[in-house]
Chain A
Amino acid sequence: MAKVLFFGATADIAGTRQVDRPAVDTDCLLAELIEEFPHLASQRLLVSVNQEYASSTIPLEDEDEVAIFTAVSGG
């Protein structure tokens, strides 16, 4: 299983900060999460795997840490 983290707007949409999901690849994972939390589809989403930005789909392994979030707005 991969650990999936949500922050800010995505945490509000998912109603949680963390879920565990089967580790296949990030595209599949995203598709599954959007099916489960349809409002995620209304956001432009960013993905990170093990704390590195993922710009295209990445194969996942068990224990990987994936984060799904909207555009950052720090500063």
Chain B
Amino acid sequence: MNFAELTTEPIEITNVARRVVPPECGATVTLDGYVRQFTKGRETLYLIYEAYDEMAIKEMRKLIEAAADKFEISSVGIVHRTGRLEIGETSVAISVAAPHRKAAFQACDWLITELKRTVPIWKKEVYANGEEWVGGDGSR
């Protein structure tokens, strides 16, 4: 029931959320992370995401295992998109199903925090007058 995937196609949030529902659960919490137009006063035209595919999948799977240890949850689905993304498009979806919603919320928050810290994927911001790879701490 757990899955960790990369895709170059648009992410359909409800599909991700629906794939994690097992019978013993009462709630699924889904994070829909999408491309923001304005960051620190600069306007983004679009983003490019690049991944170290095999290692990214491995690291996402490790996170899912760790989350299952840490929180009382049933299943996790993570899908991250790579390639060019336009404003408003979903870059990452994380769905967590659990018997009770509190664990699902906590696990989902933990997962996105850890994904941003450890999964080998890089974001390049393209502005009207330049472009740059974003640093791990959000620096550019």
The answer, among A8, A67, A75, for a CB contact under 8 Å with B50, is A8
Binding site for A on B (CB under 8 A): 33, 49-52, 54-56, 58, 80, 91-92, 112, 115-124, 133-138
Write out the residue numbers on chain B whose beta carbons fall within 8 Å of the beta carbon of A11.
50
Total of A-B residue pairs, C-beta within 8 Å: 73
Q: Is A33 an interface residue (CB 8 A)?
A: no
Which residues 23-75 in A have Cβ within 8 Å of B in the complex?
Answer: 48, 51, 67, 69-75
Instruction: Point out which of B112, B118, B121 has the most chain A C-beta atoms below 10 A from its C-beta.
Output: B121
Instruction: Point out which of A5, A9, A48, A73 has the most chain B C-beta atoms below 10 A from its C-beta.
Output: A73
Q: Which residue of B lies closest to A17 (CB)?
A: B50
Q: Is A20 an interface residue (CB 8 A)?
A: no
Chain A: interface residue count, which band? 10 to 19
Shortest C-beta distance, B61 to chain A (Å), equals 11
The answer, among A9, A12, A69, for a CB contact under 8 Å with B120, is A69
| A72 engages B54 (CB within 8 Å) | no
- Measured between alpha carbons, how far is A74 from B123 in the docked complex, in Å? 6
* 10 closest Cβ pairs, A-B complex: A71-B136, A74-B121, A8-B122, A51-B55, A75-B116, A73-B134, A9-B133, A73-B123, A8-B133, A74-B119
Given contacts A72-B122, A74-B115, A75-B91, whether A67 and B55 have CB atoms under 8 Å apart is yes
Looking at chain A's contact residues, the main secondary structure is: mixed
Write out the residue numbers on chain A whose beta carbons fall within 8 Å of the beta carbon of B116.
72-75
Shortest C-beta distance, A50 to chain B (Å), equals 9
Write out the residue numbers on chain A whose beta carbons fall within 8 Å of the beta carbon of B119.
72, 74-75
- Measured between alpha carbons, how far is A69 from B51 in the docked complex, in Å? 11
- Measured between alpha carbons, how far is A75 from B111 in the docked complex, in Å? 10
Write out the residue numbers on chain A whose beta carbons fall within 8 Å of the beta carbon of B58.
51
Of the A-B pairs whose beta carbons lie under 8 Å apart in the complex, a sample of 20, sorted by A's number, is A5-B52, A7-B51, A7-B52, A8-B133, A48-B120, A51-B55, A67-B55, A69-B122, A71-B135, A71-B136, A72-B116, A72-B120, A72-B136, A73-B133, A73-B136, A74-B80, A74-B91, A74-B115, A74-B119, A75-B112
